[in-house]
A and B are shown apart, each in its own frame.
Chain A
Amino acid sequence: MRIERHPILGQLAEAREITLRVDGRVVKAREGEPIAAALAAAGIRVHRYTAKRSEARGILCAIGQCTDCAMIVNGMANVRTCITPVADGMVVETQRGVGRRSEM
């Protein structure tokens, strides 16, 4: 799902590989990109489930305004994955509901 070659943007530049754990699964990422970019590249589209009806949510605005992409990151809930950059060893989990107090 990565766009390696692009007629205007050119060849995708080299970037240091970062390793994330997403719901226990290893996902490779590129240094500097937001978490949601790595998930999208890996074909992961569901970021969380709503509190009342457990409905799946994924990227909607992609610029940090709508919170549909929020996940639990390194134990912290409600992290907007579309604006938060990846980091080595980052632990990302699908969020269910609004997050428990311990995850806030």
Chain B
Amino acid sequence: MSVVDVLVVGAGPAGLAAGIEVAKRGGRVCVVDRNLEPGGQLVKQIHKFFGSREHHAGVRGVDIAAQLLEEARALGVTLRLGWEVFAIQPGHAVDIVQAVADDATGSAGDAPTERFDARSVVLAAGAEENALQFEGWTLAGVMGAGAAQTLINVWRVRPGKRVLMVGAGNVGLIVTYQLLQAGVTVAAIIEAAPRIGGYGVHAAKIRRAGVPILTSHTILRAEGVECVEGAVVAQVDGTWCPIEGTERRFDVDVICVAVGLHPNTRLASLAGCRLVFSPALGGWVPLHNAFLETTVPGIYVAGDAAGIEEASTALEEGRLAGIAAYERLRDVDAEGHAEIAAIQRRLDDLRGGPFCGGIRAAKSALQTTGETPCPAT
């Protein structure tokens, strides 16, 4: 059994940032990730980031990921890649199992396991893409927009020739742009709401590339025998119901679903953390305070696992959680408190503006009252 000060689950921006903060303070930290390639979703973001200079504005996500990894390695953060956490015992014994054997041989029953004794745990395993059920949704070729992004930006493989994108939030708009850059045609983006949810500048890029955005449209079905051969969409009325006679077929072989993400709460739930349902944060999320500690002392949460936001907020939350997890707050000195205050200020900056009103309210409510606000609509 290995003893660490902090065990971090997930080597995305939040997890790596947490590991870096612990290592900077001289703590022993291990970051566990089921993927052999660390960096989480950050490594797939090939566009330039928004924000300000301290938020890496203007730098491509993939390059930020490389910088983080280099920093983590230089500080001696232990990375266990290809391993998955499957249990967190009271007192923070953390059990991990090898998810990806070096040569995929051997049997699952014999996969090696290891136990860590951790003073604190940071849950930073991110999110899962929401599914959308429609007739034919299980055909090969229906995949998450994030999945398509993995194929094109990490695997360097095109998912197909022509895509229908479902969802005009930032993920749908950004992945559409990246599909175009990868040489894939996007026939259209459909969005059930009457408005485009993502940033205007992301929409503008793909509109001038000739991709139509059909608001107030939903997908009726995917057509095909085993694989997607087409998609039929229809306009919806004010009650989200398809309007008869407005059906339209697109000749596509891929349907990307970009209808939101929800926090991955499995380990938090297993560990006994109280979960609350917060629509603004993407669904069930572990209740956490301003220092990102859950209702189980010593278990922290950061990044999309603490509410769906962005890579830049994940990075900052990871830093905060790393400091809080290592110091357990009793021992935080003045310098540590100043750092935490600076992180919180940067988080406020990133959550400024009209796009983040719901998130600000939700995070604030979680952290002060432990309640979640009802959506304003």
| B181 pairs with A6, CB closer than 8 A | yes
| A73 pairs with B34, CB closer than 8 A | no
A57 within 8 A of B: yes
Q: Which residues of A contact B159 (CB under 8 A)?
A: 40, 59
A84 within 8 A of B: yes
| A62 pairs with B147, CB closer than 8 A | yes
A3-14, CB under 8 A of B: which get 1 and which 0? 100111100100
| B103 pairs with A9, CB closer than 8 A | no
Segment of B72-80, B106-114, B194-202, B339-347 engaged in the interface with chain A:
B106-114
A64 within 8 A of B: yes
B139–chain A nearest beta-carbon distance, Å = 7
| A8 pairs with B157, CB closer than 8 A | no
B275 within 8 A of A: no
| B146 pairs with A59, CB closer than 8 A | no
B27–chain A nearest beta-carbon distance, Å = 28
| B108 pairs with A3, CB closer than 8 A | no
A85 within 8 A of B: yes
B1–chain A nearest beta-carbon distance, Å = 26
User: Considering only CB atoms and an 8 Å cut-off, how many residues of chain A contact the other chain?
Assistant: 42
| B158 pairs with A3, CB closer than 8 A | yes
Q: Which residues of A contact B139 (CB under 8 A)?
A: 56, 58
| A40 pairs with B60, CB closer than 8 A | no
- Please, how many angstroms separate the alpha-carbon atoms of A87 and B100 in the complex? 12
B371 within 8 A of A: no
CB-CB under 8 A for A45 and B227, given A61-B147, A76-B105: yes
| B151 pairs with A37, CB closer than 8 A | yes
B152 within 8 A of A: yes
| B156 pairs with A6, CB closer than 8 A | yes
Q: Which residues of B contact A83 (CB under 8 A)?
A: 34-36, 82, 99-100
CB-CB under 8 A for A73 and B104, given A8-B60, A64-B34: yes
- Please, how many angstroms separate the alpha-carbon atoms of A44 and B47 in the complex? 29
A26 within 8 A of B: no
Q: Which residues of A contact B140 (CB under 8 A)?
A: 45-47, 56-59
Residue of B nearest to A77 (CB): B108
- Please, how many angstroms separate the alpha-carbon atoms of A73 and B34 in the complex? 18
- Please, how many angstroms separate the alpha-carbon atoms of A60 and B106 in the complex? 26
A-side interface residues toward B, CB under 8 Å?
Answer: 1-3, 6-9, 12, 33-37, 40-41, 45-47, 55-65, 73-74, 76, 78-80, 82-85, 87, 90, 104
Contacts beyond the supplied A56-B138, A74-B105, A85-B36: 8 A-B pairs with Cβ under 8 Å: A46-B226, A56-B227, A57-B140, A58-B143, A61-B147, A62-B150, A63-B35, A76-B104
